[in-house]
């Protein structure tokens, strides 16, 4: 099997599984308990908290552990919501865990603006300037598009925020960027940054929200007051520690350079074929491509039979017709229907990429002949 859907989830590090088991079976204590064994566990999860801050280049701020990116995004947006005539700004290309919260705010009567996308998948920075104002409470923009791999310019977004709405909070969904692309939340004045462990070889069901100033937040989950009251519920200790292990064992720069070669190799394979349309984006981890005349889901299922696994977009929205992100980029319906997403990992070899590329081409040409 050649797995090319790493934007959906990644394979957990095997030693990370051992770490998880260690904290599930040996150091299984509840970190909120008062005896020394539990206090030691609490100190251990605080070490992972610090690892996240170090990776984000955050000198100050807090890390709140959650069940994953969806909860972190909800906490950042709904937890920073305030009553009054506030306005909220999102991009048209956000993940459903942000976009659907934006729709909820609209239904609650808040003024919500959706920033347009350009044809390369980035947000339209001029449009961002046009929609922000002194009433803007929150700007929420993803770092890297989970659909296309487009990287938004966080420095430019921050500059626009500082010029036009300096009191607005800035939330970045960093799920497809954390441990893959360097970020400095202090330099960029980012208030909230979302991450999810299973996107970088950690376990599913655990993530975090970085908050520069937690006083800007209100809790949206009520309970025993864990995570300083911002996210009640006993911490997923094994998941947190396995996530920390993954962070320790990822070399962002080395992996980035290697995965660049993998993506370029795949592009070189596919570009030789008529009818293949590649969306050129910055992240080496994601390649968005359409195959004229062939349904993307049909291609995906046919490749599965050959042991090549690709995606057709966000795993959180594949049951829905169309593709909101690609539509907002101005891509026509024929290309959207023939679209697949190929996403990479540093664990893949160049030979696997070449083999997968040949299988994709052969399968595409076979299906194209069948529909003629």
**Tell me: the pLDDT tens digits for 139-191?**
999 999 999 999 999 999 999 999 999 999 999 999 999 999 999 999 999 99
| Residue 315: pLDDT over 90 | no
Q: What is the mean pLDDT of residues 1-15?
A: 98
Please, what are the domains in the chain?
Answer: 2-9+251-371 (3.90.1150.10), 14-248 (3.40.640.10)
Residue 318: pLDDT over 70: no
Comparing CA positions, the residue from 277, 299, 300 lying closest to residue 290 is: 277
Per-residue tokens: 164 = 């036009």
Assign 321 a pLDDT band (cuts: 50, 70, 90): low
The tokens describing 206, both together, are 């655990």
Q: Give the per-residue SS3 of 305-345.
A: HCCEECECCCCCCCCCCCCHHHHHCCCCHHHHHCEEEEECC
pLDDT score of 316 more than 60: no
- 333-365 burial by CB neighbour count: b if 16+ within 10 A, else e? eebbbbbbbbbbbbebeeebbebbbebbbebbe
Residue 231 φ then ψ, to 5°: -155, 85
pLDDT band of residue 83 (cuts 50, 70, 90) is confident
Q: pLDDT tens-digit profile of 198-252?
A: 999 999 999 999 999 999 999 999 999 999 999 999 999 999 999 999 999 999 9
Q: What is the mean pLDDT of residues 295-321?
A: 83
Question: Is residue 108 packed enough to be buried (19+ CB in 10 Å), middle (13-18) or exposed (0-12)?
Answer: exposed
Query: φ, ψ for residue 309 (rounded to 5)?
Result: -105, 120
Question: What's the pLDDT score for residue 319?
Answer: 52
CB atoms closer than 10 angstroms to residue 312:
22
- What is the reported pLDDT for 370? 85
Identify any residues that bridge with 248 across adjacent strands, giving them in sequence order. none
- What does the mean pLDDT of the chain come to? 96
For residues 102-119, average pLDDT: 97
Per-residue pLDDT reduced to its tens digit, 16-62: 999 999 999 999 999 999 999 999 999 999 999 999 999 999 999 99
What is the end-to-end Cα distance of the chain in Å, rounded?
A: 30
Q: Residue with structure tokens 């062939």? A: 294
Pairing of strands 136-142, 192-196: unpaired
pLDDT at 63 over 60: yes
Average pLDDT estimate for 134-141: 98
pLDDT of amino acid 66? 98
* Helix, strand, coil shares, percent, the chain, to 5: 40, 15, 40
pTM, two decimals, is: 0.96
**For 245-273, what is the mean pLDDT?**
97
Q: Would you state the pLDDT for residue 120? A: 95
Residues identified as active-site: 316
Segment 107-134 shows an average pLDDT of: 97
| Residue 263, pLDDT above cutoff 80 | yes
CB proximity list for 108: less than 8 A, separation 6 or greater:
none
Burial 4-27 (b: 16+ CB within 10 A, else e): bbbbbebebbeebeebbeebeeeb
Arithmetic mean of pLDDT, 327-333:
96
CA triple 123-317-1, angle to 5 deg: 105
pLDDT of residue 314: 61
């Amino acid at each position: 099997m050649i797995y090319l859907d790493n934007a959906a989830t990644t394979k957990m590090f095997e030693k990370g599984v051992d770490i998880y088991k260690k904290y599930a079976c040996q150091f299984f204590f509840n970190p909120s308990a008062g005896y020394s064994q539990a206090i030691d566990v609490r100190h251990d999860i605080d070490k992972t908290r610090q690892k996240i801050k170090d990776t984000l280049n955050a000198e100050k701020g807090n890390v709140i552990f959650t069940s994953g990116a969806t909860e972190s995004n909800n906490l950042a947006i709904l937890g920073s919501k305030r009553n009054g005539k506030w306005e909220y700004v999102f991009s048209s290309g956000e993940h459903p865990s942000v976009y659907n919260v934006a729709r909820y705010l609209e239904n609650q009567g808040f003024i919500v603006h959706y920033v347009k996308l350009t044809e390369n998948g980035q947000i339209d920075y001029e449009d961002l300037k046009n929609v922000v104002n002194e009433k803007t409470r929150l700007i929420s923009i993803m770092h890297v598009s989970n659909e296309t791999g487009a990287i938004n310019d966080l420095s430019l977004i921050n500059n626009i925020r500082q010029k036009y709405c300096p009191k607005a909070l800035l939330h970045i969904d960093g799920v497809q960027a954390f441990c893959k692309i360097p970020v400095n939340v202090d330099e960029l004045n980012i208030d909230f940054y979302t991450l999810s462990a299973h996107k970088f070889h950690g376990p599913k069901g655990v993530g975090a929200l970085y908050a520069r100033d937690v006083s800007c937040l209100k809790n949206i989950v009520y309970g025993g007051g864990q995570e300083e009251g911002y996210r009640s519920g006993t911490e997923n200790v094994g998941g947190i520690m396995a996530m920390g292990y993954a962070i320790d064992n990822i070399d962002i720069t080395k992996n980035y350079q290697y995965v660049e070669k993998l993506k370029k190799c795949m592009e070189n394979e596919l570009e030789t074929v008529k009818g293949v349309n590649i969306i050129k984006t910055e992240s080496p981890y994601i390649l968005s491509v359409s195959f004229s005349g062939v349904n993307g889901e049909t291609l995906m299922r046919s490749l599965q039979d050959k042991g090549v696994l690709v995606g057709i977009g966000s795993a959180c929205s594949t049951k829905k017709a169309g593709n909101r992100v690609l539509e907002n980029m101005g891509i026509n319906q024929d290309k959207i229907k023939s679209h697949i997403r190929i996403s990479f990992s540093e664990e893949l070899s160049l030979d696997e990429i070449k083999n997968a590329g040949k299988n994709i081409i052969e399968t595409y040409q076979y299906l194209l002949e069948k529909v003629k």
